[in-house]
Amino acid sequence: MTDIRSPLQAQIVRWHVQAGDSVNAGDLLVILEAMKMEHEVRAEHDGLVTELFYEDGALVAEGDVLSSLELLAPIRQQTSAPVIPHAAPQPTKSTWRADLQRVLERHAPTLDANRAEAVAKRHALGQRTARENIADLCDADSFMEYGALAVAAQRRRRSEEDLIKNTPADGMVTGIGSINQTLFGEEQSRAVVMAYDASVLAGTQGMRNHQKTDRMLGIALQQKLPVVLFAEGGGGRPGDVDMPIVAGLHVATFASFARLNGQVPVLGIVAGRCFAGNAALLGCCDVIIATQASNIGMGGPAMVEGGGLGVFKPEQIGPSNVQHGNGVIDILVADETEAVAAARHYLSFFQGPVKDWQAPEALALRDVVPENRLRVYDTRAAINGIADQGSVLELRSGFGKGIHTALARIEGRPVGVLANNPLHLGGAIDANAADKAARFMQLCNAHGLPLISLVDTPGFMVGPEIETQAQVRHVSRMFLAAAHLRVPYLSVVLRKGYGLGAMAMTAGGFHSPLFTVAWPSAEFGAMGLEGAVRLGYRKELQALPQGPQRTTLYDQLVAQQYEKGSAIHMATTLEIDAVIDPAHTRAWLVRGLQTQRELPQAQGLAIDAW
């Protein structure tokens, strides 16, 4: 005989057995109610109910005996392994609970598998759906969607059925997923992903998807998660009539998005058309990846025409060749597949070092700079010669061509690389190149990437024409950006290191970096050798008649200046730290990076939109 006791103070709702009933272990005996919640009391053993001590509706205290159970077999101490019950059969669709069934049915219209017509239209354009892009970007089964059941705020003008079918997720898919998890682990790989769905109301910004965006941006800032934005769409949506608003200029999305600047990596991706509000968010991103078929503009055709500025097709506004050439697009790709691959590559630099890497052939660096000091060459060869194979990702290649900027890895460690480009203006730094370099410094500084500078410049570009471009202000941005660096800066002079331009490429001066070393091909001076000779020895040269005699003296003076400004002579005066074999460059950089201590805490370091 064993007693059945009340587990808590409660009221008896109803008995499910009577005196004399036989029960098996697990059978329901009685239901109790406490704090508006029902509690089941079940038999722990097989037996016979002998007596019920309370009726339905009675109040009982914790521990009160509710009934007695006569056991059909004695209770014994279990000495053998417990019997493992067979797994319960999986419920089929016909046996799903009603509430579960409703949730599953409600989610169905949001899935691509149930939107065949919309998906077919996207594929006919040669583009993917928002969910296809997210599935490609995020590691398998890692994406957790927020706000999937939202619909457009248009219940006053459309039926619920229509909204569910035609405005799933209110035209924006948002959530958190893992990117590159196999390389960096779950914690380092998490990112907020937001994708405007161009198959829903043209990817416009509705009031509900503004709310979804604000929710995700708050999480990104709080949890310090990178943000990836697929920005295709046409800006604000005028048809959301459920909200009591006039202009909607009070929404917090743009301020919230901008607040992430310098706090977490923010990446924008565009395929197709991106106008107005969508473009404004895109412009706040650290880096923009766009396809060749993209169009980006602060106003689409309707807005342009409404402003009395003419009638244009969408393809005429901000085409990719224009936006890549002017610096809006950082990485130009063929299609969305390449865009997502570039996004994964870009984000990897801010997720940590990698264990597996392959070094390039070190001896190849000895042949990067031509022996003829006047012969141009591509400093990309130097970048690829010091970086882990396959790690280089160039940014803004269509703009500011006087300086290459790239993200790379050295022995698995992410770094930022700047390199003058002698193929453009002989490596002279113009306004665009200075803007590009300064902003790149800000990007690396904000997100903790050490900077490596490969120097080959005759200085800042000069002349009446360049000064019409506000050269004085633009090039000075490099000094200002360098003065606020918290990350290590390492400089290698490949060939020309002249004037203020060379100082700007070395964080403000040759002694500002952690080290400034030079290859044997390097040459230095306050200005270019030829110009220095023409100016400094004008009287001597003009004293000789035009012809071979003057040319011979000029060549002799240039040779003298070259010897005086040679790398070895610079090292003897301690203006640079060392002259190194180009094949040892990578080893120098590795040791320099190893000296880095913990970085000072970032304090909202801003990255210019430009």
Q: Can you give the pLDDT at residue 238?
A: 81
Helices 130-137/336-348 angle, 10° precision: 40
User: Rounded CA gap, 206 and 334, in Å?
Assistant: 29
The second-level CATH assignment, the architecture, of 2-71 is: Beta Barrel (2.40)
Residue 416 and residue 437 in contact, taking contact as beta carbons nearer than 8 Å = no
CA angle 338, 340, 341 (to 5 degrees): 60
Residue 511 and residue 489 in contact, taking contact as beta carbons nearer than 8 Å = no
Q: Say whether 362-522+567-594 and 100-348 share the same fold.
A: yes
Q: Can you give the pLDDT at residue 75?
A: 55
> For residue 80, what are the contacts with CB-CB under 8 A and spacing of at least 6?
none
Average pLDDT, the chain: 91
Q: Can you give the pLDDT at residue 79?
A: 47
Q: Can you give the pLDDT at residue 92?
A: 63
By C-alpha distance, which of 98, 109, 122 is closest to 164? 109
User: Rounded CA gap, 186 and 190, in Å?
Assistant: 6
> For residue 106, what are the contacts with CB-CB under 8 A and spacing of at least 6?
149, 164
Q: Which fold has domain 362-522+567-594?
A: 2-enoyl-CoA Hydratase; Chain A, domain 1 (3.90.226)
> For residue 140, what are the contacts with CB-CB under 8 A and spacing of at least 6?
none
The residue extents of the domains of the chain are 2-71, 100-348, 362-522+567-594, 527-565
By C-alpha distance, which of 342, 339, 292 is closest to 320? 292
Query: Using H for helix, E for strand and C for coil, what is the string for 265-324?
Result: CEEEEECCEEEHHHHHHHHCCCEEEEECCCEEECCCHHHHHHCCCCCCCHHHCCEHHHHH
CA angle 363, 364, 370 (to 5 degrees): 120
User: Rounded CA gap, 96 and 92, in Å?
Assistant: 6
> In CATH, what number does 100-348 get?
3.90.226.10
Q: Can you give the pLDDT at residue 602?
A: 67
Q: Can you give the pLDDT at residue 88?
A: 53
Helices 529-536/548-564 angle, 10° precision: 120
Looking at residue 411, what DSSP letter applies?
T
Q: How far is CA 338 from the centre of its chain?
A: 15
Looking at residue 379, what DSSP letter applies?
T
Stretches where the chain sits below pLDDT 50 are: 78-86
Q: Collapse the DSSP code of 287 into the 3-class scheme (helix H, G, I; strand E, B; otherwise coil) and give the result.
A: strand
Task: Provide the strand spans (E) within 98-235.
Answer: 144-146, 172-178, 190-196, 227-230
Q: Can you give the pLDDT at residue 133?
A: 97
Neighbours of 229 (CB within 10 A): 26
Query: Using H for helix, E for strand and C for coil, what is the string for 489-519?
Result: EEEEEEEEEEHHHHHHHCCCCCCCCCEEEEC
> For residue 445, what are the contacts with CB-CB under 8 A and spacing of at least 6?
451, 481, 484, 485, 486, 487, 605
Radius of gyration of the chain (CA): 35
